[in-house]
Structures are given as structure tokens and as C-alpha cells.
Structure 1
Amino acid sequence: MNTTRLDEVLDATYDCLVRFGVKRTTMDDIAQAAGMSRSAVYQYVRNKDDAVRRLAVRLHDAATERAVAAAAADLPTAQRVHDVLRAKLDLVLALAGDSPHTAELLDAKARLYGDVCTTFTHRVTDLLVDLLTEAGAGGLAPADAAQILVALVVGMEADPNASRLLGPAVDLLLSGLPAAGGS
């Protein structure tokens, strides 16, 4: 399959979602935005639902790659934790910032792609657990600390200052974990 053309279809799907949302977007809209015939679009996706799901997967996979790279970076633990959380927050801010409709792609309860959102959040949480375990953070189980950090980011997602506040918020939480804050 021609990946470039599929990317064009997914880009067009995103453009349509920005304007119309998931429910109101049609295959004709996607075809027009892609500069293709409707039948040509069907060579790359089965239907609108398939296009929307593939788009959600692409966006979440890219954010997952950023989070994995951040976790593996040769940086202090606190910076790696911050950067993993930044990958999650940046995905949310980008989608919510483009349109209220594109924020729909973050809905873990959505029939088409909810599992994609949930898998992404679990992957971010797992990366954090690994980082906190590696740091030997005492006093709080790494899994609990990771869940708190993810909940922090989820809680910040609607705040207009979230991007600026992420660093200080993570530093504040990590300061309570003896080994994680400074390693």
C-alpha cells in the first residue's frame, strides 16, 4: 500500500474532523480534502470509521514514540519523567487546540478508537513505572506514583497554563519521592 497516499487520506480526515467533527464528516468530505475521488479513497481505507481509527492510531503512536524516546534518553530521571508526561500533554493540547472536534480523538470511551486512547495512557503509565522503579523512589509504590503523575496531567489538560505549569508540577510531586527527584 502506498503509505504516502494513505497519509494524505489521514491528513484529509484530520482536516475534516477539525471542521466538522467525527459524526458530520463524510467520505465525500475526506475525498474532496484529499483531492481524490471517493473510490480512490476507498483504496486506502475501508470507510470513514476506518479512516478515523487509523488517524487516532497514527496520532497516539507518534506521541507514544516521543514518550518512549523521552524515557530512554540519557537524562536525569526527573527530566525523563517530565518529558514522558510532556508527550501526553502535548498530544492533548495539540488536538484540543486545533478544534473542539479533534479533541474527540482523545475520548477513551469512543467506540471507534477508545482502546487506542486507553492503550496510550497505559503505555505512558508503564514508562513512568519503569522510570520510578529504576530511580528507586521510596515511600510510594512506583505504580501509585505513576498513576498520580498521569492523573496530574489529565487534570491539567483543560488549564490554559498547562504547558507552562507541567514542569513545576512534576518537580513538586517528584520532590516527595526521595530518589526520583534528583537522579
Structure 2
Amino acid sequence: MDGSRECAPAPPDEAVTRIEQIADAALRRFARYGFKRSSMDDIAREAGLAKATIYLHFKGKDDVFRAMMARFLAQVAARCEAVMAQPLPFPDKLSALMLAHFGAGYAAFGDGEHLVELKTVMASIATREAQAFEHIFCNHATALLTQAAAAQEIALGALTPGQIVETIAHAAIGAKMGPQPSLESYEARLRQIAVLAAQAVARR
């Protein structure tokens, strides 16, 4: 390939595709090797692109990390929206929503040895994106509880939907504690949390 053409500005659609390609490659690289051990050269090789092409779209590794988070957030949001559109009973929809959100996050980051480092990086350079990830589940789960209560499918009792969702989210995070579970084990724990939450708000 002509090197000058490789470094030339890409058309808008092609530029978006390349950014997504780089973000996906960065996610794979960071999950396997962590942030510190991944250079722009490494990300370029993972993406199958010249390093100069990476710099056409990003100033540095921090920008790539934020783009990776934004891309992942969009994918998780789409999964959660698909779950919300399904005509499922409340317990099944809550379980599917937890898998689409927390399960996807664990599959992407959580079962690797670099999770602690990546969380630190998120807190330092991608705070907005990390908060947005939390909001995806909270917003959808709150809407789910509100809708189910309005349809008299569940009874909220003394707690607000937000309080219940916060408790569920804490339980999902706590399900990772102890010896690191496999993805299958973590997903099983998420399903158990969903069952318990559904039983807690079931109409008597």
C-alpha cells in the first residue's frame, strides 16, 4: 500500500470505521496486556494499521482509551436497549438487562489480570465515560421497575425504584469479590441476584 495514501485524511464514513477499528483493537490489547504495557505501536499492530494512521485520529494513548470506552458504551447501550424492547416478564427482563450490562463489562475487562489497572485508568482519564457506563444500567433498570410497578407486575413497597436499582448494582459489583470467578460463574451470580430482586418485589 502507498504510504502517502495510508496517511491521507479518510472520507467521513471511512474515518468513523477506522476509529471503531482502532477502539476495538485497543480494547483487545488493553484487556490482554493492560494500559501501561500497551504502546501506540502495539495498538496499531492489533488494528492492522500504520501507527501514522492512528495519529490521524488520536493525539495519544489517553485519547484512544477514551474512544475505546465510548465505543464500548455504545455497544452496551444498544444491548440494553434491545433487552428493554423485548416483551419479557419482569424477572427475565431484569436478568437479561444485568447480563447485557454487567456481564458484557466483565466479559470485556473483568476476567483479565489487568482489571485493577484499567479501573484506575478509567478513574483518572475517563471519568465521564465510566460514569456513563453506570448510568446505562441505572436508567434502564429504573425505567423497568417503574413500568413493571405501573403495570402492577411488581410491588415496590417502601423503596423507590432508584434505591432498588442501587442495591442491585452494588450486588452485581460485589458478585466479583473473592476468588475471581469465571465469566460463566459471574453470569450465574447475576442471574441469582435478578431472581432474588424479582422475588423481593413480587406482588403478594
On whether the aligned pair clears a TM of 0.5, the verdict is yes
Say which is worse superposed, 29-38 or 71-80, in terms of deviation.
29-38
Which position in structure 1 is the counterpart of 2:190? 166
Equivalent residue, structure 2, for 1:85: 98
AA at the equivalent of 1:57: A
How far apart are residue 77 of structure 1 and its match?
1.6
Residue among 114, 133, 154 paired with 1:120: 133
Q: Which residue of 1 aligns with 2:156?
A: 138
1:21 aligned onto 2:40:
no
Alignment gaps of 5+ in structure 1: none
Aligned Cα RMSD in Å?
2.3
* d(CA) in 1 for partners of 2:118, 2:100: 16
Give identity over the alignment, percent: 26
Encode CA deviations 1:39-91: one digit per residue, 9 max, x unaligned.
12111222111111101111122112111221221111221111111112212
2-structure distance, mates of 1:45, 1:38:
10
Name the SS of the counterpart of 2:125 in structure 1.
coil
Alignment of 1:13-162 (within 5 A): 13-94=26-107, 95-97=109-111, 99-101=112-114, 104-106=117-119, 110-136=123-149, 137-139=155-157, 140-158=159-177, 160=181, 161-162=185-186
Residue identity opposite 1:93 in structure 2? Y
Hey, what's the Cα distance between the residues in 1 that align with 2:116 and 2:70?
Answer: 14
Which amino acid is the alignment partner of residue 188 of structure 2? R
Larger Cα Rg: Structure 1 or Structure 2? 2
- The offset of 1:29, in angstroms, is 1.9
The two structures have a TM-score, normalised by structure 2, of 0.77
Following the alignment from structure 1 to structure 2, what is the Cα–Cα distance between the partners of residues 81 and 107? 29
Partner of 2:56, secondary structure, is coil
Give the structure-1-normalised TM-score.
Answer: 0.84
Gaps of 5+ in 2: 1-11, 150-154
Cα separation, partners in 2 of 1:156 and 1:107, compared to 1, 3 Å: farther
Aligned pair in 2 of structure 1 residues 72, 104: CA closer, same or farther (>3 Å)? farther
**How far did 1:106 drift?**
4.8
